[in-house]
Amino acid sequence: MKSSPANSALCLLLCLLAISSSMASSTGAGTARMADRVVRIPGQPPVGFRQYAGYVTIDESRGKAFFYWFFEAMRKPTEKPLVLWLNGGPGCSSIGFGEAQELGPFIVQKGKPELISLVYDIICAESNLLFLDSPEGVGFSYSNVTDVLGDHATDCSAISSHKFLINWFKKFPQYKNHEFYLTGESYAGHYVPQLANVILDENKKALKEDHINLKGIMIFNAAIDDETQSKGMIDFAYSHALLSDQAYHKIIQTCDFSKVNLSDACNEAMTPYNKLYNIIDMYSIYSVRCGGVNPCQQIVVTEYFNRRDVQEALHANVTNLPYAFSLCSNAVSNAWNESAQTILPIIKKLIHDQIRIWVISGDTDGRVPVTSTRYALNRLGLNITEDWTQWYHYNQVGGWTIYYEGLTFVTVRRSGHQVPTYAPKRSLQLFKHFLANKKLPTSSF
């Protein structure tokens, strides 16, 4: 049946309106994106990639906005996956730690507040790299409701981070269909799986334009199970000659780590262990103790991001926050009022949903040690397809692997809590193989 002239005209009008709406949306996204374009950061060397930084609104009624810093891949960004990095704490800045001290592409130099480009191990050679400060109160992220710390539980934080992603993709729609990976370290053992879980749940009911193409997660020195975490810390300290026989056996006999609150007797028995944090670097037990991975660098990073010219270049602190930038927020960590005792059920669900999972463990970290991670993974009851095999970085053993059905466990030799800081080149190798879904090499190359 032929259409009438009126119907044809109406059809044409609707098509034009749809095209116009699409063009307006695209133009709006482009304008918002270009407003976040970072031309140059103070101290930055010349680079061959584009970077963006700024805010994404999460909740207009509470004036809540999360700060991000995004780096396009050095080569062929339209063909590379998108990787989100989250630091833990809870309450620590992914900008201050992940970007400025670990992955780069810029690292604030030791001794002076300027930037260098880590050309030899730059992660964004392999991916488009996104850093997020979450929840509100962390780094430059904020809420105008200053008397309420609403997101300070990991499930709430995951919901807000999902809202961030939905709104971020509206600003950067060209990355919406790219393969998407969640990565992070330490307490991101909670953040990353819980955010992945929210993404999968929301994908089932989301409109096509809000679907997130999540493919995998990778977590470094991941805190994922409280009971095995505590037991593993004590066993690691004892097996590395940090506790006497007497102190160790008293802790084992007295403490029930399955309890949320430890007994007074257990706390007393733990005294020799707790004192270790005052005399050695428990985040890297063989490093010279000076308070963190590099306290000088941490001071310089904090000073750098508190510079007004740096904040202006990054489009940060646009509301003149009533507090200075800090690497970790005591207000957030002290207000953290709910944390799951275990993330293992979520990890099982992610395995069932065929999400790629790599768990990485620096083997000199005493805070989230390799023992804790192995104990936790054993609780999953997964079949092992390839047990305890060395992997190589060129002609040196980089660590060991266990390949489970649905999960890969990797150790990194001579690396502390922040693996990308202690082992940047090996970290790049891990990223490459994870993103390519390839096993690590078992012989020198």
Maximum Cα–Cα distance across the chain: 94
Instruction: Given the residues 186, 230, 326, 372, select the one marked as catalytic.
Output: 186
Distance CA 204, CA 197 (A): 11
**Residues whose CB is less than 8 angstroms from the CB of residue 17 and which lie 6 or more positions away in sequence, other chains included:** none
Ranges of H-type helices in 72-225: 154-171, 188-203
Active-site residue identified among 134, 365, 372, 393: 365
Q: Measure the CA–CA gap between 297 and 387, rounded to whole angstroms.
A: 38
353 is catalytic: no
CB contact at 8 A, 405 and 357: no
Query: What's 130's DSSP letter?
Result: E
Q: Confirm whether 21 is a catalytic residue.
A: no
Element (H, E) at 297: helix 295-305
Give the tokens for residue 137. Answer: 């109160």
> In the annotation, is 186 catalytic?
yes
Both structure tokens of 283: 């985040």
Q: How far apart are CA 327 and CA 79, in angstroms?
A: 33
Contact 409, 402 (CB under 8 A): yes
> CA angle, 93 as apex, 89 and 97 as ends, to 5°?
95
Query: Looking at this protein, which amino acid is placed at residue 71?
Result: F
CB atoms within 10 A of CB 413: 18
Peptide bond into 295 cis (omega under 30): no
Helices (H), 306-408: 308-313, 330-335, 344-352, 370-378
Residues 196 and 348: their CA atoms lie apart, in Å, by 12
Residue with tokens 């050309």: 119
Question: In the structure encoding, which two tokens stand for residue 42, read together?
Answer: 């103070």
Output the six-digit token pair for 289.
Answer: 């103790």
Alpha carbons 210 and 166: distance in angstroms, whole number = 6
Tokens of 204: 């089932």
Annotated catalytic sites, by residue?
186, 365, 417
